[in-house]
């Protein structure tokens, strides 16, 4: 069984009367990628700031590798690193200077070799003499990621690591992250607004709403929570008759000329198609879209707005 490398217990952060993070508990196992999701203002950034030690918690415990973060800060941060799209690096320093500075901060023993290897991996080796402000947004993000891998981290906190990257580089980065996870058992705490990415990368997901952890599960199980799916039909002939039929049978649908979208329970698809056949309604094309993490997330946000239980 994989060892727990990060344990967050009853973590709370209050700003006066406002509770930004409300008694949350979760864990991260060795080699696991845990997604931290939630709408804006849910408490994700506050949680990450506390995990990095740049914000003090009001109460609760953060335990890395079985050691209290407050008591063993330097020792722990030697094994942890992070990357965020919301931070930057010294603007007038070159790529190589920046990596050298951080390699010294993290006391990397074989720093030149490590820097060379990472520069190749992140395709930055041809721009070592470029100053940070001269890099494109994508190159800046890649340099931040390079920095985050410098110290052979055992835990990586990644706050939207592939935002602002073009799709090709984003795929490469995801593959690199997967490779590091596979080869070195790196554990990752991952936030992203790209739900497809979260689904691809994360072994487990926790959803924070109004400072509380409301859901904790695998992406697969979360998508199973929504039993409905979208059935899309392209119907060319007898559109008027089809519309009248759906209305008569009170079937919820959306239509856009020849395209009909019907949201229905997965188990009722066969019956619905048989019903269409019995009515002699012919369709040219059919596609069944199962719910993905984005649907789950949107459903949660909708329920939060309507104050419904999750």
Partner 1 sequence: MFYWPAMDLFIWGLTGLYLATLSNNSKELIFVILNGLVFWIIIWRAQYEINVNILSEMWDKNLVNVVASPLTIWEWITSLIIVGFIKMIISLSFSAIIAFIFYQYNIFMFGLQLLPITIGLLLFGWSAGFIVAGFIVRYGIKIQTAAWTGVALIAPFSALYYPLSILPNWAQKIALVLPPSHIFEGMRDVLFKGYFPAEKLFIGFALNIPYLLLSLWFFVFMFNKSKKIGLGRLI
Q: Is residue 55 at the binding interface for partner 1, with CB under 8 A as the rule?
A: yes
Q: Is residue 17 at the binding interface for partner 1, with CB under 8 A as the rule?
A: no
Q: Is residue 59 at the binding interface for partner 1, with CB under 8 A as the rule?
A: no
- Contacting residue, 34, 46, 198, 222, with partner 1 by CB under 8 A: 46
The least distance separating partner 1 from the CB of residue 89, rounded to whole angstroms, comes to 6
Helix ranges (DSSP H) in the chain: 44-52, 73-77, 95-105, 111-121, 137-149, 167-184, 195-201, 219-224, 239-248, 269-278, 293-305
Residue 189, beta-bridge partner list: 34, 157
* Interface mask toward partner 1 for 89-118; x: CB under 8 A: xxx----------x--xxx-----------
Contact criterion met (CB below 8 Å) for 162 and 192: yes
- Contacting residue, 18, 40, 71, 86, with partner 1 by CB under 8 A: 86
Structure tokens of 297?
Answer: 């997330």
Q: Is residue 270 at the binding interface for partner 1, with CB under 8 A as the rule?
A: no
- Contacting residue, 24, 38, 45, 264, with partner 1 by CB under 8 A: 45
Q: Is residue 74 at the binding interface for partner 1, with CB under 8 A as the rule?
A: yes
- Give the orientation angle of helix 95-105 with respect to helix 137-149, to 10 degrees: 30
Q: Cβ–Cβ contacts within 10 Å for residue 172, how many?
A: 17
Q: Cβ–Cβ contacts within 10 Å for residue 209, how many?
A: 20
**109-168: which residues touch partner 1 (CB under 8 A)?**
147
Q: Is residue 236 at the binding interface for partner 1, with CB under 8 A as the rule?
A: no
CA dihedral defined by 112, 115, 117, 119, rounded to 10 degrees? -140
Q: Which stretch binds partner 1 (CB under 8 A): 50-58, 172-180, 237-245, 295-303?
A: 50-58
The least distance separating partner 1 from the CB of residue 64, rounded to whole angstroms, comes to 13
Pairing of strands 33-37, 212-217: unpaired
The footprint of partner 1 (CB under 8 A) covers 15, 45-46, 49, 52-56, 73-75, 77-78, 82, 84, 86-91, 102, 105-107, 147
């Amino acid at each position: 069984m994989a060892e727990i490398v990060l344990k967050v217990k009853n973590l709370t952060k209050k700003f006066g009367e406002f509770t930004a993070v409300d008694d949350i508990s979760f864990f991260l196992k060795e080699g696991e990628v845990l997604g931290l999701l939630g709408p804006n203002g849910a408490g994700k950034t506050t949680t990450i700031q506390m995990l990095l030690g740049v914000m003090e918690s009001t109460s609760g415990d953060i335990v890395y590798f079985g050691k209290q973060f407050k008591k063993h800060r330097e020792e722990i941060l030697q094994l942890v690193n992070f990357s965020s799209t919301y931070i930057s690096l010294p603007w007038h320093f070159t790529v190589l200077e920046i990596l050298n500075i951080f390699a010294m901060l993290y006391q990397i023993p074989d720093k030149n070799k490590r820097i060379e290897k990472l520069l190749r991996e992140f395709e930055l080796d041809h721009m070592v003499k470029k100053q940070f402000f001269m890099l494109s947004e994508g190159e800046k993000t890649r340099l931040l990621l390079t920095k985050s891998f410098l110290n052979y981290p055992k835990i990586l906190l990644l706050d939207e690591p592939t935002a602002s990257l073009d799709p090709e580089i984003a795929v490469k980065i995801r593959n690199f992250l997967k490779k590091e996870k596979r080869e070195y058992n790196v554990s990752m705490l991952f936030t992203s607004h790209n739900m497809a990415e979260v689904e691809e990368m994360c072994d487990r997901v926790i959803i924070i709403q109004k400072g509380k952890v409301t859901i904790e599960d695998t992406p697969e199980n979360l998508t199973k929570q929504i039993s409905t799916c979208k059935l899309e039909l392209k119907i060319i002939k007898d559109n008027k008759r089809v519309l009248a039929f759906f209305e008569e049978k009170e079937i919820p649908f959306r239509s856009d000329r020849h395209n009909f979208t019907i949201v229905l329970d997965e188990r009722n698809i066969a019956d619905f198609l048989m019903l269409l056949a019995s009515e002699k309604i012919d369709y040219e094309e059919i596609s069944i879209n199962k719910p993905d993490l984005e649907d789950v997330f949107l459903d949660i946000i909708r329920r939060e707005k309507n104050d419904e239980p999750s």
